[in-house]
Structure 1
Amino acid sequence: MQERLRKTRIALAAALGFFAVGCDSAAWKRFAFESFFFDPGTLENPRPIEARMAELAIPGVSIAVIYDGEIHWESAYGVKKLGTSDPVTPQTRFQAGSISKFVTAVAAFRLAEQGVIDLEADIEPSLVSWSIPSNPFTGLAPVTGRRILTHTAGFSVDGFIGYQPTQPVPTLLQVLTATPPAFNDPIVVAQLPGSGFRYSGGGFTVLQQWLIDVTGKPFPELLAEQVLSRAGMTRSGFDQPLAASLEAEAANAHVLPGLPTPYIGNVYPELAAAGLWTTASDLSRLALSLQRARAGAEGEVLSPASAREMLTPAFDGTFGATGPGVFFDAASSPRWFCHSGGNVGFTADLIVSLDGKYGVAVLVNDFFAGRPFIGEIVRNVSLIYQWEGWDPDAPGC
C-alpha cells in the first residue's frame, strides 16, 4: 500500500501543483479540495465539487476538516432542499444517523465517571420502565452497558427507518415492545451476551431506556448536559421531531435522486441509535475533545482515563475493530477511529486519527448517492492532507 500511496501523492502533486498539496494554508488546502474532484479511484477528469455534486444529484453537503488538533477549515456546498436556492452553510443541521451512537457512548462514559452507572454491571436490575424479555440467553450471561456499547450484548434489530411526521410516532416503550404504531421487530437478546459482535440499534434503544430510568431525565436533556454543552456543540440536539423554530436551519431529507421529501426528515424516537441533529463542525469539536483527553488533557468532555478506554478496541480486539460507540481501522494498534451514519434521506461520516492530527466530518442530505460521494470526499481530504496510515481508496468508515 505504501508504494501505491507514494505514487498517488506524486501524481496528485503534479495535478494540483506542489504548493497546493504541500502548503499548510487552510485556504490553499480548501481550494485544492473543492477544485479537483477526480473520477473515482483515479486522478483523471478533475472538476469542481459542485460539478461532481450535479453529476450525482447531491443536494447539499457540510464538511469540517481536522488538522493538527483543530478545525482547519469548514465549508458547505449546495442547497438544503433541491428546487430552492436556500444554501447549506457550516451552521446547517443534518441528521447524523448512527453517529448518534458515538455521542451516546460519550454520555455513558461520562455518567460512569460520576458513578451514576456501572458499565460492567447487569443493567436489568436498574431498568424501571421495561424489562429485557427473558430467554435462554439472558439466563446465561448479563447484559451490561459496555456490551451494548460494543455491540456484543446480543440484541436484535440492527437499525430503524423512523416515521414520517404525518404518521403516529411510537413512544420509546412501544418501540422496545414492538407495539403499534411501532413497526420494528421486538428487541430481544438474540445471542449469548459477550459471545460475539452483532450490530444493534435495538441495543442502543435499550441503553436509552436504561439511562433515562437511572437518571430520571429526558434523553435530550441528559445528552445536552453530559456531552453537547461540555463539547461546545451549540447547534446539536436529540429532540425528535426537530423543533419547528429550527427547521429553517436544517437540511431537508432526499430519499430518491433529485427528489426531496415533503417534510424536513423522518422522526426517530430511537434517540440513542439515530436521533441526533448536528453540524460537521460540532462533531469535529467532540472528536477533538476526546483526542485531547486521550493525550492527557484535563477539563475535556471525558477524563483522560475514560477517553483512552473508549478509544480502545473492545476486549483487545477479540471482537474485531470495534470499541464502545466507535469503530477502528485495525483491532491491533489502531490509528483511526470512526463512525458512519445513514438515516432516511441523510448520510454521514466521522473519521479521525487517534493522535489528533487528521480528521474529517461529512454530512450529506441524500441517501443513495450520499455514501459513495462521502467516500470521494474522504479520499480527496486524505490525499491533500497526506493522511499517515490511511488508504485513500478505503470506502470510508
Structure 2
Amino acid sequence: MSRPLSYIGVLTFLSILLLGCKEKNVLNKGIYEIIESDSGKIQTQRMHPVAKRLKELDVPGVSVAVIDDYRIHDLITFGNRDSLNFVNSNTIFQAASVSKYVTAIIVHQFISQGLLDLDTDVNQYLKSWKVPKNDFTQDTPVTLRLLLSHQSGLPSTNFDFDKNQGVPTLVQILNADSPAINEPAIPNAIPGSRWSYSNIGYALIQQILEDITDKSFQQIAKETLFIPLQLNSSTFQYPLPPNFENNEAKPHDKFGKEQPSQLELPAKAQGGLMTTPADLAKLTTEIMKGYENNSKTFSKKTVQRLLQNELELPFRFYNQKAFMGLGVLLIGENENLAFIHSGYNSPGSVCIVMGFPSIGKGAVISANSANGEKLYLEILATLANKFDWPNGQFFKH
C-alpha cells in the first residue's frame, strides 16, 4: 500500500536528486528558468537543476525523449511516477490531447489506402450514429478535413458521466445521452466557418474509424501504428493491460497530490492514449523521415497532408504566429517549419510533441502533474538552445 506523499516528501526529493544525477545527459547542466512578468512569460538566462525545478513546481516526475538527426538521441527521466517508484524510460504516461496527433496519423494512413476521403460527408462513413441535420449543416456537411482541423462547427466540450449510472457508450457520448455528461456532437456553427477546438470532434473521428472497420479503436491503432512501428508501450486500453499497469505514471494535481486516473470513458481518440515519450519519439521520427521521403511506413504525400496549412489560428501560440494543419499545429515555414501538439488531462498529466521535419530535430516530454506545462516549456527552451533549433525558445528576449 502506498504511503501518503506527505510522509515521503524528503525521500521523493532525494530520489529525484539521485535519479537526475545518475548519468550525464543533455539536461545535466540544468534548464532555463521561465518567469512570469507584467508583460507575460520571460525566459531568463538562469539555469537550475531539473530536480530543483521539479520540487519548486510540485511536479513529481518527467520523461524526455530528444530527437536529433532523425533518431532518438537521448531518453532522460527525473523524479517519481508515484509515491514509491522512479520514472524510467518504460514509464507510461497519459498523452492527453497528443492522442489527437496519433489519431490524425491513423486517419491519414487510411486516406492513403483509399479507405477515407478528406472532403466526403462523414455521414457516408458512419453506421452506428449520424451527425444530425440542422440549419448549420444544410449546405455544408461535416468532413474529415474540418474535424481534423477543428473547423467542424462541433462544440468544444469535455466529458464526464454519472458514476451512479455506469459508463456511457461512445454513441451515448455523441448523443449526450445519460449517463454521459457533455454537449452533443451537433454543429452549433456552419462547418468551415470558424476554428474552435473540439474534443468531441475527435470522438466522432473514432466512431468513423470503428464503423468502417468494425474494430475497436485500440485494435485499429495497434494494427495501423503500434505493431508496424513497434510502439510496444502504447495502448488506448484503460485500465491498463497487466503487462503495462506496473509502469503507470500516476496523475498529480497542482498541489503535488496523487490522484486516480480518469480514463474510463470509451472516447479515446481525443485524449486516451497511454504511452512513453520514447514511443511517441519513434513515431515522430518516422513522420519526419516521411517528410523527407525516407520512411518505410509513411509516404511523403501522407506526411505533407498531415502538415498541410489549413488556416491561420485566431491566437498566438507561445508568442508565435500559428497555423492549423490536419492534425497538428504549425509554426514557422520551409526549413524552419515545426509541428506541435500539446495536451493536458485532468487531474494532472501533460504531454507535448515538437518536431522540425526539415532538420530531423525535436522532442517529446511527458509529466505526471497539473503543473507540468511550465516545466516542459523550460525543457524545450533548453533543448532549443542546445541543439540549435530554429524555434522553441518562445519567451527569449
TM > 0.5 fold call: yes
Q: CA deviation at 1:334?
A: 5.8
Count residues in correspondence.
359
Corresponding residue of 1:214:
212
Corresponding residue of 1:49:
50
SS at match of 1:205: helix
8 A contact 1:30–1:73 mirrored in 2: no
Q: CA deviation at 1:185?
A: 1.5
Alignment of 1:268-287 (within 5 A): 268-287=265-284
Q: Which moved more, 1:114-123 or 1:63-72?
A: 114-123
CA distance in 2, matches of 1:60, 1:264: 16
Structure number with higher strand proportion: 2
Q: CA deviation at 1:257?
A: 1.5
CA distance in 2, matches of 1:163, 1:97: 18
8 A contact 1:240–1:271 mirrored in 2: no
SS at match of 1:328: strand
Alignment of 1:78-97 (within 5 A): 78-81=79-82, 83-84=83-84, 86-97=85-96
Q: Which moved more, 1:163-172 or 1:343-352?
A: 163-172
**Is the alpha carbon distance of 1:348 and 1:218 closer, same or farther for their aligned partners in structure 2, counting shifts above 3 Å?**
same
Corresponding residue of 1:185:
183
Amino acid at match of 2:275: T
Q: CA deviation at 1:294?
A: 1.2
Structure 2 counterpart of 1:297, from 294, 301, 307 = 294
Backbone CA RMSD of aligned residues: 2.4
8 A contact 2:161–2:179 mirrored in 1: no
Q: CA deviation at 1:332?
A: 8.2
- Residue segments in structure 2 that go unaligned for 5+ positions in a row: 1-20, 35-42, 315-321
**Is the alpha carbon distance of 1:391 and 1:150 closer, same or farther for their aligned partners in structure 2, counting shifts above 3 Å?**
same
SS at match of 2:211: helix
Corresponding residue of 1:225:
223
**Is the alpha carbon distance of 1:30 and 1:165 closer, same or farther for their aligned partners in structure 2, counting shifts above 3 Å?**
farther
Corresponding residue of 2:9:
none
Q: CA deviation at 1:327?
A: 0.4
Alignment of 1:305-324 (within 5 A): 305-314=301-310, 317=312, 321-324=323-326
CA distance in 2, matches of 1:74, 1:130: 42
Corresponding residue of 1:386:
388
Amino acid at match of 1:322: M
Structure 1 counterpart of 2:166, from 165, 168, 171 = 168
1:195 aligns with 2:193: yes
Corresponding residue of 1:20:
none
CA distance in 2, matches of 1:94, 1:253: 9
Q: CA deviation at 1:121?
A: 0.7
Q: TM-score, normalised by structure 1?
A: 0.85
**Is the alpha carbon distance of 1:269 and 1:282 closer, same or farther for their aligned partners in structure 2, counting shifts above 3 Å?**
same
8 A contact 2:100–2:271 mirrored in 1: yes
Corresponding residue of 2:30:
36
SS at match of 2:48: coil
CA distance in 1, matches of 2:233, 2:162: 23
SS at match of 2:364: strand
Q: CA deviation at 1:37?
A: 2.8
CA distance in 2, matches of 1:49, 1:36: 6
CA displacement 1:96-139 (0-9 Å, x = unmatched)? 01111110111111111111112221111221111112210111
Corresponding residue of 2:341:
339
CA distance in 1, matches of 2:161, 2:222: 23
Q: TM-score, normalised by structure 2?
A: 0.85
Structure 2 counterpart of 1:358, from 345, 361, 366 = 361
Alignment of 1:109-188 (within 5 A): 109-160=108-159, 168-188=166-186
CA distance in 2, matches of 1:56, 1:158: 28
**Is the alpha carbon distance of 1:59 and 1:42 closer, same or farther for their aligned partners in structure 2, counting shifts above 3 Å?**
same
8 A contact 2:335–2:358 mirrored in 1: no
CA distance in 2, matches of 1:131, 1:283: 32
- Residue segments in structure 1 that go unaligned for 5+ positions in a row: 1-26
Structure number with higher helix proportion: 1
CA displacement 1:200-251 (0-9 Å, x = unmatched)? 1111111111111111111100011112222221110111332354221110
CA distance in 2, matches of 1:135, 1:334: 42
Q: CA deviation at 1:333?
A: 7.7
**Is the alpha carbon distance of 1:280 and 1:155 closer, same or farther for their aligned partners in structure 2, counting shifts above 3 Å?**
same
